[in-house]
Structure 1
Amino acid sequence: MEAIETLIYFGMSPSVFAVVYYAVLLIASCAATIYNQRAAFMMLFSLLLLSIIVGIVGGATWLAMFVVIAIVIGMAAMMSFTFREFMILLVSRDMGKELRTAPLTAAFGMFVIFIYVIAGIFAPWIAPYGEAEVISSAFAPADQNMLLGADQLGRDMFSRLIYGTRNSVGLALTATILAFILGATLGLLAATKGGWFDNLMGRIADVIMSIPSLIFALLMLSIFGPSMPVIIIAVAIIYAPRVFRLTRAVAGDVVVMDYIEAAKLRGEGMFYLIRREILPNSTAPLIAEFGLEFCFVFLLVAGLSFLGLGIQPPTADWGSMVRENATLISFGEITPLIPAAAIALLTVGVNFVVDWMLHRSSGLKEQ
């Protein structure tokens, strides 16, 4: 209904809007055909057919909502394209060639990651209020001073959302780095040494992976308390075996290569083989795995915070923000969904970038 009210506010009735919208899409489709732009024609005419179906099924309300969604997707695509071109100008020529092959989804993921990094680093300057500063009454509506309203204690939701970027993403990133260092180091050592060390590390990894991650995290936090160091260590222990298994498999394929045997015959030590021969040839899948592990860790940390065992108040955290303001959903407010959307957006963005990196490391070429 808000979309219809917006149309009326601008002096356009729903029927006139529908006619103008369909006419613009039809003219644009014909223009794309005349200028032999096959991809543009397929996109525009498909959008026209979908719009007709939505308009028939849901009427003007659904059509207006569909147009808003299409505009948002189009703006995201244009922003992704311009951000990709901006990065191409900043990096070296070889890296620019790689970025030019990146799909718009990967560019969108890079843009999302960039925005989150900026928000996390400059949170004290971006947020208008402190993360624990009470400035209004509980659940106060949005106004000119509070973009997203207030939470259950009267704190600015927008400020806590910005500070939550630093806390939630920072904690997940720290835990992922620790898990990756531990798992990758042991995986490289196991692939290089082999023998009893390889078997022992493999059995330990199997035991840890057999325990459900959420149950293991809840057990650790129940015993040692929900502090940040405990969360980081517990999450690192949970996900280090996954990194170990992948690193062991990738490095195991490299160890049997002829140039490794040649290096051994030259008398090179184990750490030289890992640093100069094995690790450089295993980088691409490990970087992609780092992105995937970050997504898993990020969702686990958010889930723990939602359960009350993650980052503790008054520190801002997206998972706890969803739990604290969940009662607003029953009143038709979308405020609790905003931190949940922030979690989902970062997860989707990272996965877009990881998919592109996996495609590159697989050696497949775009047709």
Structure 2
Amino acid sequence: MSAWLWIVALLAGSLAVGWLGRFAAQKATGNKPVYRDMPLAVAFGYALGVALLALAVWYYFQPTVQETGVANAGVMFFRWAVHGFFGFAVAAWLFRLLGRSLGTAASRKLFRQMPLTAAFGILVIIIYAVTAIFAGLLAPHGQAEVFAQANIVPGGNPALGGNPDFPLGTDQIGRDILSRLIYGAQNTVGIAFATTLIAFFLGGSLGFLAATLRGWMDQLLSRAVDVLMAIPSLIFSLLLITVASAWVSGFGLTVAMVLIIAVIDSTRVFRLARAVGMNIVVMDYIEAAKLRGEGLPYLIFKEILPNATAPLLAEFGLRFCFVFLTISALSFLGLGIQPPLADWGTMVKDLSAFINYAGFAPLAASVPLLAAGAIALLTVAVNFVVDWMLQRSSGLKE
């Protein structure tokens, strides 16, 4: 039976089981409102969820080696994903439990109100930050150091083509993948963080300036931002970085990339800062500050900025994710962080050839997934924290 027929059979069976389950529950409970008013789509969703869970459990216990002796890469990767999910869930729960017991009264209260997803996000961000700051101490080798052995399989088992000195193996030219992953946190995350800071300083300052002064300054800045936002950001970045590559190279091109992305991304920050600032400048305390004779810097940094912190912090997390993914995409295309600096986007591109060996060497095929997984994990973690911050700033309750 083809895969499509299996999918159709699964959906049809779930629909039938959902309808029968809802009917049986209505009869068994005397037509209680919770079952009487339940739509068929909800019953179908419950049945489909149970079916998918049972299918996942069945697939998890499938053998990792087929009868022909070839490794079952799909089962192996699925088991790793399940172990990682439950491992991070337990770690996040323990981290939240520790935060509720240690620290100041304010921090303990914060952890008591924190959902598990936010605790997971904060834990991952802390791990990434420590890795980026202490990359030179954590990495066993240099990020540009080349060894004689290339294409070493991860795992460290010599019988399978591994080497204990290189737990995650080496790439095509003999560089240690573990060391490059660690330095990739320092370069990719650090550069993305610096780029986001520049974008927020530029966009936030100009946005508050436009909201405070109004008039021709507001029109000039707003129309300039409209022109920049009319061009797709990734295409515009590619164009400007390609032009910059004709003038600079190496580390200079990385600096040019940071400035280009910061300017382009500051347009989104400008829109938010201007909108928030417009709502604040009409408040009575702003008028009182103007009557006291306070200058423009005082109004922006002492009156407007403190009252706009919550939406700006939430936007900072979202902007960081977009900048982080943009830098990874540019590096994947060869125009981002330049060698010999390690970068996760470049690693995905360079190591993508290992996927061809998934059929008989699943460990080798997992190499490009490590960098891609590092990108995805940080993006999910930051979004979890941003969602929690948005919920807190909006005053919504769980």
Match status 1:175 vs 2:187: no
Match status 1:352 vs 2:384: yes
Using a 3 Å threshold, how does the CA distance of structure 1 residues 316 and 55 change in structure 2: closer, same or farther?
A: closer
Alpha-carbon distance, 1:126 to partner: 0.9
Q: Distance in 2 between matches of 1:62 and 1:286?
A: 50
Q: Distance in 1 between matches of 2:338 and 2:174?
A: 18
Alpha-carbon distance, 1:315 to partner: 1.2
Alpha-carbon distance, 1:50 to partner: 5.4
Q: Distance in 2 between matches of 1:59 and 1:320?
A: 32
- Matched to 2:177, the amino acid is M
Counterpart contact for 1:55–1:62, Cα < 8 Å: no
Q: Residues 261-316 of structure 1, C-alpha deviation per residue, up to 9 Å, x if partnerless? A: 22222322222222222111100110111111010000000001000111111211
Q: Distance in 1 between matches of 2:258 and 2:57?
A: 50
Which position in structure 1 is the counterpart of 2:127? 115
Bigger shift: residues 75-84 or 315-324? 75-84
Alpha-carbon distance, 1:48 to partner: 7.9
Which position in structure 1 is the counterpart of 2:223? 203
Which position in structure 2 is the counterpart of 1:52? 54
TM-score scaled by length of structure 2? 0.76
Q: Which runs of 5+ in 2 are unaligned?
A: 1-47, 65-74, 157-163, 359-364
Of the three residues 127, 135, 140, the one matched with 1:128 is 140
Alpha-carbon distance, 1:223 to partner: 1.3
Q: Distance in 1 between matches of 2:340 and 2:90?
A: 38
Q: Distance in 2 between matches of 1:53 and 1:106?
A: 29
Q: Distance in 2 between matches of 1:365 and 1:348?
A: 22
Using a 3 Å threshold, how does the CA distance of structure 1 residues 223 and 110 change in structure 2: closer, same or farther?
A: same
Q: Residues 154-205 of structure 1, C-alpha deviation per residue, up to 9 Å, x if partnerless? A: 1110011001110111111111110110000001111111111111111111
- Matched to 2:119, the amino acid is A
Which position in structure 2 is the counterpart of 1:341? 373
Which position in structure 2 is the counterpart of 1:266? 292
Q: Distance in 2 between matches of 1:104 and 1:90?
A: 17
TM-score scaled by length of structure 1? 0.82
Using a 3 Å threshold, how does the CA distance of structure 1 residues 272 and 163 change in structure 2: closer, same or farther?
A: same
Using a 3 Å threshold, how does the CA distance of structure 1 residues 316 and 273 change in structure 2: closer, same or farther?
A: same
Q: Distance in 2 between matches of 1:297 and 1:141?
A: 32
Q: Distance in 2 between matches of 1:53 and 1:160?
A: 37
Bigger shift: residues 141-150 or 92-101? 92-101
Counterpart contact for 1:137–1:154, Cα < 8 Å: yes
**1:183-262 superposed matches below 5 A:** 183-225=203-245, 227-262=253-288
Which position in structure 2 is the counterpart of 1:92? 104
Q: Distance in 2 between matches of 1:101 and 1:255?
A: 32
Q: Distance in 2 between matches of 1:317 and 1:68?
A: 24
- Matched to 2:173, the amino acid is L
**1:286-301 superposed matches below 5 A:** 286-301=312-327
SS in 1 for 2:62: helix
SS in 2 for 1:112: helix
Q: Distance in 2 between matches of 1:68 and 1:306?
A: 25
Bigger shift: residues 216-225 or 66-75? 66-75
Instruction: Give aligned pairs, total.
Output: 321
Match status 1:321 vs 2:347: yes
Counterpart contact for 1:192–1:255, Cα < 8 Å: yes
Q: Residues 101-123 of structure 1, C-alpha deviation per residue, up to 9 Å, x if partnerless? A: 11111111111111111111111
Q: Distance in 2 between matches of 1:160 and 1:139?
A: 14
Which position in structure 2 is the counterpart of 1:9? none
Q: Distance in 1 between matches of 2:317 and 2:106?
A: 23
Which position in structure 1 is the counterpart of 2:6? none
How well do the aligned residues superpose, as a CA RMSD in angstroms?
A: 2.3
Q: Distance in 2 between matches of 1:117 and 1:54?
A: 34
Bigger shift: residues 105-114 or 217-226? 217-226
Q: Residues 38-92 of structure 1, C-alpha deviation per residue, up to 9 Å, x if partnerless? A: xxxxxxxx99875434456x58419987776555433322211221233345543
Using a 3 Å threshold, how does the CA distance of structure 1 residues 327 and 70 change in structure 2: closer, same or farther?
A: closer
Counterpart contact for 2:93–2:116, Cα < 8 Å: yes
Q: Distance in 1 between matches of 2:259 and 2:113?
A: 38
Q: Distance in 1 between matches of 2:82 and 2:342?
A: 33
Using a 3 Å threshold, how does the CA distance of structure 1 residues 54 and 220 change in structure 2: closer, same or farther?
A: closer
- Matched to 2:144, the amino acid is A
* Percent identity for Structure 1 against Structure 2: 52
Counterpart contact for 1:163–1:316, Cα < 8 Å: yes
Bigger shift: residues 156-165 or 72-81? 72-81
Alpha-carbon distance, 1:136 to partner: 3.7
